[in-house]
Amino acid sequence: MIKAFKKLVPTYVKYLYRAIPDYYYDLKRFYKYASNQGVKDSEEKYIGHIVKRYHVIEKGLTMPSPRLGFGKEVVLDLINLCNQYIDIYGTTNVQLHNAIAVLLAYIEFHKDKSFTIAENIVTAIKLLSQRVNNSDVLPQQQIHITKEEYFNDINKSFEAFSNSRKSVRNYASKDLPIEKILKAIELARNTPTSCNRQSNRIYIYTNQQKIQEILKLQGGSRGFLELANKLIIVTNELGVYESTRERKQGYIDGGIYTMNLLYALHYNKVVCCVLNCGTTKANDLKIRSLISIRDSEELIVMIACGEAVENFEIASSPRIPTENFIKIIE
């Protein structure tokens, strides 16, 4: 009787019966631990909010044509977050120091441009920096670099090569030969994948109007999207995976592949900036309506590319010390 009943149950219902607990587990954990709806009930959540906002400001400081007075709302929000953090957790966190350093750089940047920032913002930043009481927190200098300097270490040790790759948001007006990208993709084939299923797929866009339409929907390239000469989209084919045990595997394989591709692009002297594809269902559908990927493919990242200009700036984006996130377990 039971066997006969099971045969009558549609396959997708059986799948849902097995899958829902796994996906509910993910949803429950994300709801509990991520900073949903702006909730900040842990130090990690506060730091996440702080870093995201100071990175917006440091990116603005390095844009090809920065708008003077940019980011007023973000600056005020960051100041408020830093003060709240200090009230609860104190002043020793390195990311707090980085945030204040960026705010001080924001003042210096506009001072150098002879642009007057609202007095309440300047005062609030100075009062915040005084709360830290640390002479090491100086204005964060962004990286001024030449094309020759940027690519100087691509044939040196891996340590030097790896440390030399940065996200670049300024591209020359001349055409980037697609052969450079193809060579990089060929090199990135060495990327390991789960059970060697090689599930990553690559799309290269060359039409400037199409690139700008796609990047506007992605939403993370304001200030430089019109400069991108080529756009790479990395996807992952879901069809190669077999069960809900592998529900996250596409993102894992896609992430590993993306880093290898970024290194390969750097080796082939392509400057680029990786842009995440985390978005809503509605926006995902809009992006899919513009691009030529299969329904079975998951969007992983977009990579805006171009030839390097002779002189450009890069966001410092300081890394936290390794001892802050390593735990050796015996």
The pLDDT value given to residue 6: 60
The pLDDT value given to residue 135: 63
Handedness of CA 219, 220, 226, 232 (dihedral sign): negative
Query: Could you tell me the pLDDT band of residue 4, with boundaries at 50, 70 and 90?
Result: low
Please give the average per-residue pLDDT across 39-67, as a whole number.
Answer: 92
pLDDT tens digits, 224-247? 999 999 999 999 999 999 989 999
**Run of H or E residues at 73:** helix 72-89
Query: Could you tell me the pLDDT band of residue 7, with boundaries at 50, 70 and 90?
Result: low
Q: How many CB atoms within 10 Å of residue 207?
A: 11
The pLDDT value given to residue 17: 80
DSSP β-bridge partners for residue 311: 146
Q: How many residues does the chain have?
A: 330
Select from 207, 230, 241 the least CA-distant residue to 307. Answer: 230
Query: Could you tell me the pLDDT band of residue 168, with boundaries at 50, 70 and 90?
Result: very high
Report phi then psi at 128, rounded to 5. Answer: -65, -45
Q: Please tell me whether residue 308 adopts helix, strand or coil conformation.
A: coil
Q: Please tell me whether residue 304 adopts helix, strand or coil conformation.
A: strand
Amino acid at 263: Y
Q: Does residue 5 register a pLDDT over 70?
A: no
Mean pLDDT check: name the lowest of 28-42, 57-71, 271-285.
28-42
Q: Which CATH superfamily is domain 145-314 in?
A: NADH Oxidase (3.40.109.10)
Domain ranges of the chain: 2-33, 37-141, 145-314
Query: Could you tell me the pLDDT band of residue 277, with boundaries at 50, 70 and 90?
Result: very high
The pLDDT value given to residue 164: 97
The pLDDT value given to residue 189: 96
